[in-house]
């Protein structure tokens, strides 16, 4: 995966919009919609859905410590 920092920021912005749209619902209920949205974001930037998910998880705020 060769994603430039500027592209990563755009992907994260799209992911934030997606997360706001999905709201605070359980993962098992939102999984299909989440998967579709991740693949759509990936297609927009020429990467795969799993790559988008990895970028999202690598930059997701950590709880506690």
* Domain-wise residue ranges, the chain: 5-56
pLDDT at 16 over 90: yes
Mean pLDDT across the stretch 2-7? 86
pLDDT at 65 over 60: no
In this prediction, residue 30 carries a pLDDT of 86
Compute CA distances 16 → 21, 27, 52, 53, 65, whole Å.
9, 16, 12, 12, 23
Are 59 and 7 contacting, i.e. CB atoms less than 8 angstroms apart?
no
For 26-51, write each residue's pLDDT tens digit: 888 888 999 999 999 999 999 999 99
Rg of the chain in Å (alpha carbons): 12
Tell me what the pLDDT averaged over the chain comes to: 90
């Amino acid at each position: 995966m060769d994603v430039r920092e500027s592209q990563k920021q755009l992907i994260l912005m799209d992911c934030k919009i997606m997360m706001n749209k999905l709201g605070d619902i359980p993962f098992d209920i939102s999984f299909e919609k989440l998967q579709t949205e991740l693949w759509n974001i990936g297609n927009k930037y020429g990467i795969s859905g799993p790559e988008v998910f990895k970028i999202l998880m690598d930059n997701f705020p950590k709880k506690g410590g």
